[in-house]
Amino acid sequence: MPRITGATVAEHHAQQRRALLDAARQILAEKGEVPAMGEVGRRAGLARSSVYQYFSSSEDLLAAVVGDAFPDWARQVLDKVASAPTPGTRVWAYVEANIDLFASSELAVAQVLRRIVDPQVLQRPMKDFHVQLQRPLRQALADLGDPEPEAMAEHVDSLVMQASTEIGAAPEDSRPEARLRALARLRRLLSGYLRLE
């Protein structure tokens, strides 16, 4: 009988599932292709047959990665925004957290998912992700006193997307420098408006 590593069987299963999802995301980031179930299992320390106890197919695994990744990405941004003390620093935290996400290996995961996952599977998580992030951004802009927080939020997102595209186009080994350049430009552009010191 396999050794149970969690305090309970349910906890053990949750840990194994987590390990498989993490392994799949790592493979997506590294290889840019649908991960083979056996490789996911090896990376997570499980036999290929064990992977099928959690996911019935590669498509099922990818759908679970989508369901895991988007909330994780949103949490990373929202936690940073929530920890900022003023409306201006909350908007800047939003910008910086999104740029950091695009400068990380998660960019490769997002690009691969967009390419290999059925758009129907991606549609709802992407919409939820956008809605989750827009609420605190619009609130911070309203608290800053902007008369059109919804429109301004779209402009902020456009700036983030343009900067992120530039970072994504940079060779992987020069992305840290591309990230710093993008943030420096955005800070020059936004610091007065956001009342950043």
pLDDT digits (tens, 9 = 90+) for 9-27: 889 889 999 999 999 999 9
- Domain span at residue 70 reads 58-194
Together in a domain, 36 and 92: no
Q: Name the domain boundary from 35, 55, 75.
A: 55
Are residues 104 and 78 located together in one domain of the fold? yes
The tally of domains found in the chain comes to: 2
The verdict on 97 and 165 lying in the same domain is: yes
Q: Are residues 186 and 91 in the same domain?
A: yes
Q: Is 93 found in the same domain as 47?
A: no
Q: What is the pTM of this model?
A: 0.85
Let me know whether 38 and 121 are in one domain.
no
CATH assignment of the domain containing 125: 1.10.357.10
Contact present, 99 and 176 (Cβ < 8 Å): no
Pure H helices in the chain:
9-31, 37-44, 48-54, 58-82, 87-103, 106-116, 119-144, 149-169, 175-194
Residue 143 and residue 158 in one domain: yes
Residue 102 has pLDDT above 90, yes or no: no
Same domain membership, residue 100 and residue 33: no
Model confidence band, residue 5 (pLDDT cutoffs 50, 70, 90): low
Distance CA 73, CA 133 (A): 10
Residue 37 pLDDT greater than 50, yes or no? yes
Q: Are residues 137 and 47 in the same domain?
A: no
Q: Tens of pLDDT along 156-175? A: 999 999 999 899 888 888 98
Give the pLDDT band (50/70/90) at residue 4. Answer: low
